[in-house]
Structures are given as C-alpha cells and as structure tokens.
A and B are shown apart, each in its own frame.
Chain A
C-alpha cells in the first residue's frame, strides 16, 4: 500500500501495464520526454519504457485517434491522450467511424483495443474550452465504452482494466480530482471492472447517483445528513456507457427516491438516460419524482470566477436537494 493521488494512481496503473505487456504504447501532445503530459500523468514513462513506447505526436487529434486504431489492428494496445476533453472533437470522426465500428463492421475479424484518455471537468478556472463535459457525445454509441473513476483506487484499477479491454474505451479523468484526492492504494496488480456502477454508501432513505467531482460532494453530503437522520445510498456511475442498468435501477428501487447529480448540462446528459431507465424499470417503486441537479443549459462555465461558480453544482446545493427529496 502507498498513499497516492488520483493522478499518481493512473500513472502507476499505466506503468504496470506497460511493464506487463510490451504491446502497450502511449502517445499524445507533450506526452513523451521528461514533461509527461500537460498534467504530468505520463511522467517517467518515456524514461522507463523508451521513447518509442511513450512518445509525442504533433498537434493533430485526428491522427492520435487513427494512429491508435492502426496500432490496434496490428495487435498493439494503444493509449492515446487528448490534452483536454474539449479537444477530442477533431478526433471524433476517428473515434466514432473507425475505432467504435472496427470490430462490429468486420464481425470481429479486425479489432481495435484502444484507450483514449482525457482530462475533463471544471472548477480549475479553465473557461469554456478546458472545462466541458464531452462524455455525452460518446455515450449512446454502441461499440464504445465511456468510463470515469472517481477515486484513486478506482483510477488505478480502471485504467488497468481499460488497457486490458478488447473494446475501445474513452477514459475520462476529472482534472479537479487529479491532486485533490489521496488514498492508500495497493501497489500490486488489481483491476476494477469498467462495466459496473459502485454503491459507495449503503442507505435506506434516498438514493444519490453521480460520478466524478459531484460524487465527492454526494459522499460528503451523505455523511453530514446522516447526522440529521437522513440515510442516503450513494452510487458512483463509473461506467457512463454502457450503463450498469441493474445496479442503478436496484439502487433506485431500494429507497424509492432518486437524486441524479451531474456537472454536465441538465438536458441531454448521461443522467437523462439514467432517469429514463429508472422510469422504465422502477416507476412503481418510486415515492417521488426523479430529481436532477445539474449545470444550466449554457455551453459551459465561464472563466471569471463568478461565472464558473454560477455554473457548477456545489456541495451546499447537493445537501439542499437531498434534504428536499428526503422530506418529499
């Protein structure tokens, strides 16, 4: 065991996989050399595994997307890094038209096992183009997996599972969590499944479903509200697509009161799909309307601190929404 940040846990997970399997390679803008990525997630990997297996690309996201597919069809496990989730957009054609469909369109003759890693999320004064939640663009795209860990233990275990997965995976890393969270995590080999939601707190009064930074608010809020006698079940979505329908619906049925919290815009987010699933499968188990707490339907948060704070859901709002739901 060692105390590690979310960022260090991802670095260790990648490093272990590169040591275990020489077919694992990693690349992107600033990823190679001594720099190791804009946030330092790949720091030390070039020195350890060579400049051929950990290397810089030009500023060409489409290329990053397609290079990974080409390596994938040749039996490699490529990890392509995009500097920010907002910068994935030029690679969307490669991700959706090539990576996502390679297995399906050849009925498994050719496959593209890929991890596309990218930092997302706000709260770090990133303004519009360094803060957006782009995960909804890739959700609802069969063939693709979209995942995000919410703590250091999952961060290491899920990046390892993503690298070993034979499917293309988009691995979202919340950049506010990179250095915020520290935890004791095992330094030996373990994986965390990338197709399962996680009940992080058992409770009987209300169910809160979230992921990323918002999940941390939900966990903290649940502990505070427990002192008021409100016992909340808290679920980490983790697998944003495909969703772990069974775990999510069961958690909703358990308490009959559901709060969905996302940093994304309210309309069209992952949470909209979760709400639909719960309505389909558990309507008559519900004791209150499903409630969504989310960002407003503006393109993203502003750079100015006032605008950023206005956009982002905060812990007080989560507490308030949970309290209201409990009293319904």
Chain B
C-alpha cells in the first residue's frame, strides 16, 4: 500500500479527505438508523467504498466536471459539493431534496447546482448519458470531463458496452468506473463474469483499463489524477475498476447473512478501509487519535443538525404530482 505522502496532496487536503470519508460513513449510518426507526423507507449503502470514492472524487474539478453517479456513490457526491442535509432531504423525500424533490427513492443522487446528473433505477443507463455529456464537451471544445460509476453487477448491462464502444471510437473525455464489491445483491462474481478483471474489457474498446485496490487511498487518487489529465488533454476514455468491500447488505430490504458466511462478513469487517486509512493517518503523522475523535464529534453534530433541519422541511404538495410532466 502506498503512503499518503506519495499522493502529492497537502496536509490540509489529506485531512479534508479523512473528513469526507468519515462523514460518508456517519451519514450512511444515520440513513440506516432513520430506516430502522421507520422515519424513512429505504437505504442502500456505500459503506466500504468511502476511501475509494473520496480519492476518486478529489481528482476532479467539481465546478466544471460532470458526475453521473450510481446509488452507492453518496460519499463521492459529498465531495462533489452536496451537503449532509441534501442527502437526508432525499431520504425523507422532502420537496427541497435536490436529487428529485421527493420523486425518486432515496440514494438516487443528483444536483443541478453541483453538476451531478440524475440517474434512473434501471442500472447503468447513465453510461450512454455520460458519452453524451462528453460529446458535448468535445463539440464545444471545452475541457470538462464526464465521470460515471456503476457496480460490477450492473456493468454487465448491454448499454455499458454500447457506451464504452462509442467513447472509444470518438476518444471522448469520459471516465467509466466499476466499483467491484463482489456481489450483485446475492450473486457472487463467479456467477457474474468469467474474466479475471472487469477492467480487461476496456482493451476491447481501444482504451486503457485499470484495476485498483479501493483500500489504497493514494493509489486510487493517483490513478484518477492521471486518467483526468489524459481525458482533459484529448487522450480519450479510461475504465477504472475499484476493488471495494460492501460492508452492509445490498439494501435495507436485503439480508446478506442469507448468502454470505459469518466468517466471510467478519473477515471483511476486520479490514474496513476506514480503519486502514486511520492507521495510515496516524503512522504518517497527519492526525492523532484525539484529533480524529474530535473530528468525529463535529461530524456527528453536523449530521444531527442536518437531520433535524431536513425533517422539519415541508413534504411535496400532493398537487405537485402533476408538475413538470411536460415543459410549460
């Protein structure tokens, strides 16, 4: 595993990265809590992928690059600019929810203000959209990039291949990401695809594919940094596969103990990437345990405040059901 110092990021940036990682975890824990006490009806987590998502997202310019995420990418959306309150508003289905104003299920992140494009639930349909975004950049002669993510299960959809094929043909500034957490709900990778790495597929489309350990903050960051530089300078797309854990069940409606052994789950939890990251931060002298604990308290307070504020916001008016079916 590479040292954090090798990332080339400043101390402030590394500390900010840790704040985002921890906020992602604590916020997701809050979303589960709200589901369990019956205040919200659904959650689907990125727990286990926070370090990878923060390292990925930090390589982009959030005020100009366009993000087309999938449902586990809450932490990356936070780095892109969404707030804890924005996310909780979505879970409550409030009118002020920037993702969908209470129209989509929770975890379908989007924000016009923050260049995050809304996505459908029919997995991976955002991939062809990302090529459209990237084609727009090419047409306009601008140097913004499209980043789009999906899971390894969803990556088997035909539209993913169609999108990567076209991106290769046109050398589009788009970065495709597969967050490989080994399970498509309950289906293990052995039943999902036959090649060793998902990233191998990129070679068939004429561009580079890279597999990275999602627990290695520096490696993920540097990989994306280079991909961003290449895409911005007209060298075309990349496929980056992030090997991550899925610490939780697929969603609030799933129970992974049915199809994963207790030992397997325990073993995975013992190597939680946040623990690995924290050890690196201490070992390299970025933060002390006391400083991390203090930051955790601040994050918890921020999320408490965001929860209270979001819950107090108005629900969508029933008659708004018919708004924006068509343009006026």
Interfacial residues, chain A to chain B (CB-CB below 8 A): 25, 52-53, 57-58, 60, 62-63, 65-76, 78, 90, 93-94, 97-98, 101-111, 113, 142-143, 145, 165-167
Contact = CB atoms under 8 A, between A and B. Distances in A.
Contact of B117 (A73, A107, A143): A73
Contacts of A104: 103, 324-325
B324 A108 contact: yes
Contacts of A108: 323-324
Contacts, number: 138
Contacts of A142: 325-326
Interface in B137-169: 137-139, 146, 158-159, 162-163, 165-166, 169
Interface stretch (B121-129, B196-204, B272-280): B121-129
Contact of B133 (A74, A102, A106): A74
A106 B112 contact: yes
Nearest to A145: B326
Contacts of B104: 105
Given A63-B159, A63-B165, A70 B323 contact: no
A71 B120 CA distance: 17
B248 interface: no
15 contacts: A60-B162, A60-B165, A63-B128, A63-B165, A66-B125, A76-B136, A93-B159, A103-B324, A104-B103, A106-B100, A107-B320, A110-B117, A142-B326, A145-B326, A167-B327
B128 A58 contact: no
B69 interface: no
Contact of B132 (A78, A107, A110, A165): A78
A273 to B, nearest CB: 17
A109 B162 contact: no
A73 B325 CA distance: 16
Given A102-B118, A143-B326, 13 more contacts: A57-B166, A58-B166, A62-B128, A63-B159, A63-B163, A65-B128, A70-B128, A70-B129, A71-B136, A76-B132, A93-B159, A103-B327, A113-B327
B166 A106 contact: no
Contact of B125 (A98, A105, A145): A98
B132 A66 contact: yes
Contact of B120 (A62, A101, A107, A111): A101
Contacts of A143: 325-326
A107 B133 contact: no
B98 interface: yes
A96 to B, nearest CB: 9
B131 interface: yes
A123 B135 CA distance: 38
Given A93-B159, A97-B120, A101-B120, A67 B135 contact: yes
Interface size class of B (residues with CB under 8 A): 35 or more
Contacts of B98: 109
Given A109-B118, A142-B325, A66 B136 contact: no
A107 B120 CA distance: 14
B171 to A, nearest CB: 13
A67 B324 contact: no
Nearest to B117: A73
Given A25-B139, A73-B132, A110 B120 contact: no
Interface of B: 66, 98-101, 103-104, 108, 110-112, 117-118, 120-122, 125-139, 146, 158-159, 162-163, 165-166, 169, 320, 323-327
A34 to B, nearest CB: 19
A62 B162 contact: yes
A70 B133 contact: yes
A107 B166 contact: no
Contact of B122 (A73, A74, A97): A97
A327 to B, nearest CB: 42
Nearest to A73: B117
Nearest to B113: A109
A70 B323 CA distance: 23
B324 A97 contact: no
B112 A75 contact: no
A98 B159 CA distance: 12
Nearest to B122: A97
Contact of A73 (B99, B120, B127, B129): B129
Q: Which 4 A-B residue pairings sit nearest by Cβ, starting from the closest?
A: A70-B132, A66-B128, A166-B327, A74-B136
Contacts of A67: 128-129, 131-132, 135, 166
Contacts of B326: 103, 142-143, 145, 167
Contacts of B159: 62-63, 66, 93-94
A101 B119 CA distance: 10
Contacts of B133: 70-71, 73-74
B125 A94 contact: yes
Nearest to B170: A55
A255 B127 CA distance: 52
B122 A69 contact: no
A204 to B, nearest CB: 35
A103 B101 CA distance: 11
Nearest to A70: B132
A66 B127 contact: yes
Residue in A60, A70, A72, A142 with the greatest tally of chain B CB atoms within 10 Å: A70
Nearest to B121: A97
A24 to B, nearest CB: 11
B110 A106 contact: yes
B327 A75 contact: no
Contact of A62 (B134, B158, B320): B158
Contacts of A102: 118
B136 A63 contact: no
A203 B118 CA distance: 50
A58 B165 contact: yes
Contacts of B127: 66
A111 B110 CA distance: 13
A73 B326 CA distance: 15
A196 B223 CA distance: 54
B327 A68 contact: no
